[in-house]
Amino acid sequence: MKRIDQNIIEVPVEAGMRIPGRILAREGIQIEQGALRQLKDACRLPGVVEVWGMPDIHQGFGVPIGCVAALDGYVVPAAVGYDINCGMRLLTTPLPIKEVDTKALAQRIHHFIPLGEGKHNVALNDDDFTIAIEQGVSGLFHLGKKNHLVWEFWGDEEEQGVLARIEDRGSMAGDASAVSRRAFERGKDQLATLGGGNHFIELQEVQRVFNKKLADRFGIFEGQFTMMIHSGSRGFGHQVGDDYMKLARKWDEAQGGCQPNSQLCFLPLESKEGRNYLSAMNCAANFAFCNRQLMAVLVKGALRQILGELAIRLIYDVTHNIAKYEQHRGRLLLVHRKGATRAFGPERMKGTMFADTGQPVLIPGSMGTASYLLAGKDGSELTLSSVNHGAGRVMSRTEAAGKKRRPGAISDDEFAQSMEGIYLICEDRRAIKEEAPQAYKDIDLVIESVTKAGLAEPVARMIPKAVLKG
């Protein structure tokens, strides 16, 4: 690797690479060899135009998590991943944190939202589920039978400007006919569930405001009580990803085998398979938008049950596992973001309510460290209008928590110390150390890589007071 400047590292072309890669990372950011190998493989894909590693880069499946790859003519299911449209949502209240019993609220939210893998909550019939996955959040306004508590909490505010505060207005062009029956069955009763792994609901305090003008514009103030939701497309999206990764491997075998690695198969966009993947991926993205929307309604319902009627505002909802057509470098490219967040500056947000600020960008740390609200800047064009999606792992899950009789790298005492002062609800206490703060990079250093490079403007830093995990 060759450092270009204090923010950017270049990965020079070597055998089979069509282009050099670049990594956004200041000194002190750890880059593991497995992630570097996968980034080089992304640079070997056909039709590849540009590849970036984000400062949270770490080894994933096919390509690193924290990877942005722009291609012309091809789609790569593994460069989106299994948890399609895993993303973030930030809600604010007018309350200072000192007026909120975060423990009681976390317990009430837990009563409404199932945590962990394989859980079920809001069930839809086939017709209503088809509407949800083809239309996204806007489709939720037009469902038929409504037999769940979430609809009792559903208020007029859900139809007043919420779509403008969701990336792509919470809807991508989905076609349910491209989705397998297995995926359909896995998804139709899983809406409003959190999932496991690194997904969370956090009750937070705004610890610091960096840019008061932007903070005022977003309705953010120091000491404020905010809530953040991190979840994706659950078993539905996983099945869609699995179905089309298998299909891409079969297509590759029929062509004689030309993928950069065994996980990194691709499909031509002109093929029926490629078009169907985009349609199915969009359905999974719509599921995830609906999933976060319904969880937000339940969170708001829980808060109002305890504290009465009050204004609860959506700042923004962003995705960080997706492929989309965007204009870059004078060309229409399919930009794959895996573990990376779109960060459009004011120029690209023209015609929206964020034309004067840039897109709100939500970047969590880990359950014991800070999360950030930023605003995209026009300088993000450098990295295909993208930034990281989180802190990024420095330990594998097994390394952090241990396995069977092998102890993990993080002791129980170290874990307890890192979570001091934070009320934790988790579904699987045996696996919770996989998500320990020590297993992740320093979020402040990661954010510095983004802000010093001029990609986004820091607005506020939030710290967790209560965390719900799978």
The answer to whether 142 is a known catalytic residue is no
Mean pLDDT within 173-197? 96
State the catalytic residue, choosing from 238, 320, 336, 389: 389
The HSE-up count of residue 408 (CA atoms within 13 Å, CB side) is 24
Q: How far is CA 230 from CA 195, 201, 293, in A?
A: 9, 6, 11
Write down the domain spans for the chain: 2-394+440-469
Q: What is the pLDDT of residues 323-365, one digit of tens each?
A: 999 999 999 999 999 999 999 999 999 999 999 999 999 999 8
**DSSP string over 313-367:** EEEEEEESEEEEEEEETTEEEEEEEESEEE---TTTTTTSTTTTT--EEEE---T
Kindly tell me the burial class for residue 311, based on how many C-beta atoms sit within 10 Å of its own C-beta (0-12, 13-18, 19 or more): exposed
- Distance, CA of 120 to chain centre: 21
Give pTM, 2 decimals.
0.94
Look at strands 200-209 and 224-231 and give their pairing: antiparallel
Q: Report which residue type is found at 400.
A: A
Q: In the prediction, which pLDDT does 239 show?
A: 98
What are the pLDDT digits (tens) for 31-89? 999 999 999 999 999 999 999 999 999 999 999 999 999 999 999 999 999 999 999 99
Per-residue pLDDT at 9: 96
pLDDT tens-digit readout, 269-282: 999 999 999 999 99
Q: Which fold has domain 2-394+440-469?
A: tRNA-splicing ligase RtcB (3.90.1860)
Mean pLDDT of 283-305: 97
Closest of 346, 345, 326 to residue 336, by C-alpha:
326
**pLDDT at residue 123 is higher than 90:** yes
